[in-house]
Amino acid sequence: MRVIVARTAGFCKGVKDALEVTMEAIEKREDGERICTYGPLIHNRQVLAMLEQKGIREENRIENCAGRKVVIRAHGIPPQERQHLHKVGATLLDATCRRVAKVQAAIKSHARRGYHTVIVGDEDHAEVIGLMGYTEGRGVVINRPAQVNDLPGDWQKVLLVAQTTQNEEIFRDIQEQFLKKYPNGKVRNTICDSTHQRQTEVREMCSQVDAMIIVGGSHSGNTMRLAEVARECAVPTYHVETEQDLNAQELARYSSVGVSAGASTPSWIIRNVVQFLESIRPERSGRTYTRKRILELLVYGNVYVALGAALLAVFVDALTDLSGAFGCSLMAAFYAFSMHSLNIYLDRNAIHLNDPPRAAFYKKWKPAFTAVSAVAVISALAIAAGSGLPTFLTLFLLVLLGIIYTVPLAIPRWCRRLSVYKLKDIPTSKTFFIPIAWASVTVLLPHLHEFGQFFGRLVYAFWVVFLLVLIRTSLLDLLAVQGDRLVGRETLVVLVGETRAARYTLGFFGLLVCSLLLGPIVGVASYFAYLLLPFIVLYGWSLKRAFQTRLKEDPVFETRIEGIVMGAGGLALLWNLLNG
């Protein structure tokens, strides 16, 4: 089945900001401090369940919020309830969407000047209830053009606004009727840009597919609106919360399906839906391992990680014109495999949120992974011991740091104010620690005994490998940004956002290109450096694909990224054979 995924699918900025406010409150929570949300933070049950696991409960009665730190939901609340929360001693953290706040401000400003407010929306929706609180008792809610005729004709000052997730076409029809009845009335099209873009894209997609799947909460206004838009286009439409709501047999009759999602729908849920749809075949016989299934096994099994680390050790030899033993490649492969596998089990939350099928794979094969990882660690240390005590001690330190990365440590009291309880809590730690570890095990350890003699070449090689793996890690982080955002700030993408992280990654590209060009000129690298430039172009292409395929084809995308590292290593192997 051909699956087209909407570019706009997934969290909108308002939802992202609301989650950021909540996650920051969790990170800075002091012992005994109780945090809750007043009403559901967003309309997505899966995210709310995750927050409840972190101790963030939803409260719907103001009295239950007394003395707590209270997160105001993204939909906003009436000003009277905000005042009441202050009176019961609640400390408020405002996660109201900025677009909703602007609508509140517009209504409040006009209400003070005696305006009546007509809100196009759903009367029982949380956002509309909040907006009505700013009308000073002169507000009315409608959702059909015919209802304009029922409004009083003697209103002199009237303002028309919309729920930010309202259907664009319905609002335009109501606006036309409104201006006929109130020629001097004021109109503010307060439908969010994100809502407008999603609805426009769904209309475009409906002409390209046989059916539409809209993913999101059953109570989410903007998600229901997307389903309405798709149905208006006379396309079979399915509104689902997760892939479990889909019927493979029923969907098998369609050759192409479009997927869009509401503003509160996490990427990992959209990915699960896409993977489910892509697995549907009109005729399936027995258990067949498709190309994608094979790629999944290679990615999930950390085969690419081990092979990439092994080839990077060869890559260093070609870059520096130094020679390393075959055992050094094995040591790097064993180390990378064991550390990546180990941290999968020490930090399960992010994997579960970003890629549940992968999490299920690791759960199923946990005994095997644990046993093989233990053997890999012991083998790596044995190889290091054969190279001398300094190499063994250095690798032992790297292994120790890898093991304690996600383990809470006894940190001095002053660090608690910074919310640093483990290495993982350090902002961007994952993004930068992985390339440092890989550079150490592929550059430093194999040549530790000759580091003083070839200091310049090895420092240069360390820098190039660091940049190469840093770009790899940053690209992979783009896939996992939402799950990582919900469990911590250990990646650059989470800390600065996807757009800025992409710019930084382009900066890393520039540094790597300059380094490769200058290396042979200043005499710290062989001419092999110039052969690597095409691989950097492939990395640039992958950055573009990271945004285009962020909600589908994860194993394929990861194979491309890991393939660039392995390709550079394979070219180095050929270089060494020809020059050996």
Q: Are strands 57-59 and 35-38 parallel, antiparallel or unpaired?
A: parallel
Q: What phi and psi values does residue 212 have, to the nearest 5 degrees?
A: -120, 135
Both tokens assigned to 286:
């027995």
Structure tokens at 51: 């927050």
Q: Give Rg (Cα) of the chain.
A: 28
Helix (H) or strand (E) holding 578: helix 554-579
**Alpha-helical runs (H) found in 347-491:** 348-354, 356-364, 366-386, 389-403, 413-416, 429-439, 455-479, 481-487
Dihedral sign from CA coordinates of 349, 475, 13, 236: negative
CB-neighbour burial class of residue 38 (10 A; exposed 0-12, middle 13-18, buried 19+)? buried
Taking alpha carbons only, the member of 496, 519, 494 closest to residue 507 is 496
DSSP labels, 406-417: TS-----HHHHT
Q: CA 313, CA 311: separation in Å to the nearest integer?
A: 5
∠ CA(193), CA(199), CA(204), 5° rounding?
A: 125
Q: Which residue has the tokens 């208006």?
A: 232
Q: Which amino acid is at 534?
A: P
Count CB neighbours of 194 within 10 A. 20
φ, ψ of residue 298 to 5 degrees: the values are -65, -40
Q: Helices then strands (H, E): number in the chain?
A: 26, 12
Identify the active-site residue in 81, 127, 241, 562: 127
Which of 350, 364, 332 lies closest to 469 in space, CA to CA? 332
Give the sheet arrangement for strand 91-94, strand by strand.
Answer: 57-59, 35-38, 69-72, 91-94
d(CA 199, CA 436): 44
Distance CA 16, CA 131 (A): 21
127 in catalytic set: yes
Q: Which residues pair with 550 in a beta bridge?
A: none
Q: CA-to-CA distance for 52 and 266, rounded, in angstroms?
A: 16
Element of type H or E holding 120: strand 116-120
> Known catalytic residues?
127
